[in-house]
Homo-oligomer: A and B are copies of this chain.
Amino acid sequence: MANPWTMKMEQFTRFSEEERQTLDGLISKRQQQHQPGEDIIKEGEHSPDCHVVLSGLACRYKLLPDGGRQIMAFLVPGDLCDAEIFILKEMDHSVAALGPATTALVSGHEMRELLSGQGRIMQALWWGTLTDLAVLRERIVDHGRRDAYVRLAHLLYEMLVRYRMVGMTTDETLEFPITQADLGDATGMTPMHVSRMLQKLRDEKLITLKSKSLTILDPERLKEVAGFNPNYLHLDRAHDQRDGIADRAGDLI
């Protein structure tokens, strides 16, 4: 079974066997385990290596002068923690593991090789970055124009799609090692309000969430209440013909 990095990028393009082996090779050399809450890379740091999430869940966040924390993105397996290291001097934010997580280390040199290639891997890396941008834009729409209930619904549905994309779930249940305080820091609500909104989602029989396990009971209706439009995830194999291989997340979008 493919590693999640390859699997994610193959939502965009199909690789050759050789390309798959290149990627497999890169992420199997050096790996790291991370404890829940542990920083993978910190604001202000520069690392010689790029981190690719292989398992678990992580987040990008910033700490504020007043002690508050804003989570700006969740990272699922297959996501790059710090594409910036290959070109920027230092991180402008931190990345931390939420549950136990493992990452693979890819050296800056190797990343540069991939990026200056002419082939599909270079394009797939661009695709990944461009969809990261799109996800952030959607988060801004969430904050600016959707109320707390819809915002939460939208976030949870997006997580379902992204988990599917990398084969982290085949049904509607996700490992979700996240506290309500984390969810609050991500959505800009207080933990108390997160609790109330989750209650409402449960009352509406849309989800269950307990002991770090999230189940989407009614994906269709959740998508509906979230006003979810999947176009921003660009899961449409822009440059390839469809080829009989079933899309992993295709039935959700």
Contact = CB atoms under 8 A, between A and B. Distances in A.
Copies of this chain: 2
A135 to B, nearest CB: 9
Interface residues of A, number: 50
Nearest to A44: B231
Contacts of A234: 88-89, 92
B137 A72 contact: yes
Nearest to A85: B130
Contacts of A132: 133
Interface in A173-189: 185, 187-188
A64 B141 contact: yes
A84 interface: yes
Interface in A62-86: 62, 64-65, 68, 70, 72-73, 83-84, 86
Nearest to A93: B137
Residue with the greatest number of chain B CB neighbours at <10 A, chosen from A73, A126, A187: A126
A16 interface: no
Interface string A228-253: 00011010101100000000000000
A245 B16 CA distance: 47
Contact of A137 (B60, B123, B231, B239): B60
A84 B129 CA distance: 10
Given A92-B134, A93-B137, A116-B117, 8 more contacts: A62-B141, A64-B141, A70-B140, A92-B231, A116-B116, A116-B118, A129-B133, A139-B140
Interface of A: 43-44, 60, 62, 64-65, 68, 70, 72-73, 83-84, 86-90, 92-93, 115-118, 122-123, 126-127, 129-130, 132-134, 136-137, 139-141, 143-145, 185, 187-188, 227, 231-232, 234, 236, 238-239
